[in-house]
């Protein structure tokens, strides 16, 4: 496990998480969306940031084929989002817990799964 790769993963993941959280907060505050619906939109926007960032930085040395990596990373991200949305809906039931804090907790928790599946499968090098 390379410290450089983990550093890039954290950097790209942080940007994607900020984009995700910022999209949710903006849609809830200014567009009147429910936090659960806004979370879907936030994930979609953050997915693009995350994939491009990880393909170009975190896993660039894997030389994984772009189309295959995009499909696989979408699967990884969708799995992560399913866990995210489930945990988020449950946390929103906790009295007094703000929706934005609940989402920040969920995003941090899903990051580990995303790294492991990204490293071991989504950005796996092409076989010769």
Among the residues of 1-128, which ranges form H helices? 3-31, 35-53, 66-91, 99-117
Does residue 128 sit within a domain? Answer: no
* Whether pLDDT at 128 is above 80: no
Does residue 42 sit within a domain? Answer: yes
Residue with tokens 């940031």: 49
Does residue 113 sit within a domain? Answer: yes
Q: What is the pTM of this model?
A: 0.83
Token couple for 4: 């450089």
Does residue 127 sit within a domain? Answer: no
For the chain, state the CA radius of gyration: 15
Q: How confident is the model at residue 1 (pLDDT cuts 50, 70, 90)?
A: low
Determine the Cα–Cα distance for residues 55 and 114; give it in Å rounded to an integer.
13
Does residue 89 sit within a domain? Answer: yes
Does residue 64 sit within a domain? Answer: yes
Does residue 63 sit within a domain? Answer: yes
The total number of structural domains in the chain stands at 1
């Amino acid at each position: 496990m390379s410290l450089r790769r983990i550093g890039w993963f954290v950097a790209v993941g942080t940007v994607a998480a900020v984009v995700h959280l910022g999209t949710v907060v903006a849609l809830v505050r200014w567009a009147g969306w429910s936090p659960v619906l806004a979370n879907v939109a936030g994930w979609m926007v953050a997915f693009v940031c995350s994939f491009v960032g990880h393909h170009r930085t975190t896993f660039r040395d894997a030389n994984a084929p772009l189309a295959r990596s995009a499909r696989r990373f979408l699967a990884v991200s969708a799995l992560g989002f399913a866990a995210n949305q489930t945990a988020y809906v449950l946390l929103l039931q906790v009295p007094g817990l703000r929706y934005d804090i609940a989402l920040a907790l969920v995003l941090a928790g899903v990051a580990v799964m995303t790294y492991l599946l990204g490293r071991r499968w989504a950005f796996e090098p092409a076989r010769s």
